């Protein structure tokens, strides 16, 4: 099988490409526009007979059509994804996440792919004060980023209803692991702490997130690619709900620092207090996360400690958002 992977040089996309090559005999087209969060160094060692890299934008219909030809499966990771950036520059989020998803779905419809996995986020449900979000809950996004992802979910699902495109929508909790762009909280905090710098903690630090190791996300996508039902939404979470302050304390301990490394900064506008997912629908298909959070976090910090050559140039780029 030939798999078309968008955002393949990004965090989750690059990890999925590695997973695909290690666990199957599939070939892949790695499609990425290499914006600030896309890094060819994350997949350069994978390029060859089984992986063709195409530098292209998902909003470019001609480029998508040419690159997707001959592919049986699409796994769509590509997205503008940083909430802070969406607050100050929302246009790129609507253009890429909504228009780009529409282009991909329409091209996939014309080619006749066998499976289209649209990768989304738990943030579309909005802040969840109590309980957990199920796939049948109404979306209630509270940032331009999450609103653009909620809209892209509906665009993808409309192609199932209208054209029978075999779409599955996944909504995952916060991911962590290697090759994550260092403006996201875990790699940002870890690399700051490694360098002896302080970490910017929003508000009171009591916002709650569920942390999913990227390797577990990859196995969930495999499960859904083969056993998921077209036209359905599936939540993907690990049940590791902790506050941002607790996460910060764990990173501080792993990096051998102390509480003085915390710099409390003003909260961002519309900061969701808590996300929580009911993942029973996915678990009924036989999937379960394999990575213990404490072990996974320790391995992740160790990866950033030993891979400075990967992240240091990224942190030195102008305009990095901390």
Nearest to 171, CA basis, from 207, 126, 201, 204: 126
What are the two backbone dihedrals, phi and then psi, of residue 196, each rounded to the nearest 5 degrees? 80, 10
CA–CA gap between residue 77 and residue 97 (Å, rounded): 10
Which residues does 108 contact at the CB level (< 8 Å), separation at least 6? Answer: 68, 74, 116, 159, 165
CA–CA gap between residue 175 and residue 315 (Å, rounded): 20
CA–CA gap between residue 124 and residue 131 (Å, rounded): 16
Q: Where in the sequence numbering do the catalytic residues fall?
A: 122-123, 145
Counting runs of H as helices and runs of E as strands, what totals does the chain give?
A: 12, 12
199 φψ region: left (φ > 0), alpha (ψ -120 to 50), beta (else): beta
Q: Outline where DSSP puts E strands in 34-172.
A: 51-55, 73-76, 115-121, 167-172
């Amino acid at each position: 099988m030939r798999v078309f992977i968008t955002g393949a040089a990004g965090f989750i996309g690059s990890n999925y490409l590695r997973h695909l090559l290690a666990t199957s005999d599939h070939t892949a087209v790695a499609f990425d526009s290499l914006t600030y969060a896309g890094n060819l160094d994350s997949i350069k060692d994978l390029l060859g007979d089984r992986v063709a890299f195409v530098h292209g934008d998902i909003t470019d219909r001609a480029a998508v059509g040419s690159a997707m030809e001959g592919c049986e499966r699409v796994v769509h990771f590509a997205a503008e994804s940083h909430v802070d950036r969406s607050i100050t520059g929302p246009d790129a989020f609507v253009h890429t996440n909504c228009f780009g998803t529409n282009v991909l779905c329409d091209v996939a419809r014309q080619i006749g792919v066998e499976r289209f996995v649209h990768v989304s986020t738990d943030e579309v449900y909005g802040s969840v004060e109590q309980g957990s979000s199920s796939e049948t809950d109404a979306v209630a996004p509270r940032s331009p980023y999450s609103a653009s992802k909620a809209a892209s979910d509906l665009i993808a699902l409309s192609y199932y209803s209208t054209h029978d495109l075999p779409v599955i929508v996944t909504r995952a909790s916060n991911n962590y692991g290697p090759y994550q762009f260092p403006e996201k909280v875990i790699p940002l905090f870890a690399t700051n702490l490694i360098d002896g710098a302080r970490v910017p903690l929003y508000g009171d630090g009591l916002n709650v997130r569920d942390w999913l190791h990227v390797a577990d996300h990859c196995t969930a996508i495999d499960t859904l690619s083969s056993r998921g039902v077209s036209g359905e939404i599936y939540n993907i979470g690990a049940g590791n709900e902790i506050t941002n302050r607790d996460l910060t304390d764990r990173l501080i301990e792993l990096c051998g620092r102390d509480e003085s490394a915390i710099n409390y900064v003003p909260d961002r506008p519309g900061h969701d207090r808590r996300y929580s997912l009911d993942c029973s629908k996915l678990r009924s298909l036989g999937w379960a996360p394999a990575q213990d959070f404490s072990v996974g976090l320790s391995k992740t910090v160790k990866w950033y400690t030993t891979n400075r050559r990967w992240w240091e140039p990224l942190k030195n780029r102008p305009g990095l958002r901390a």
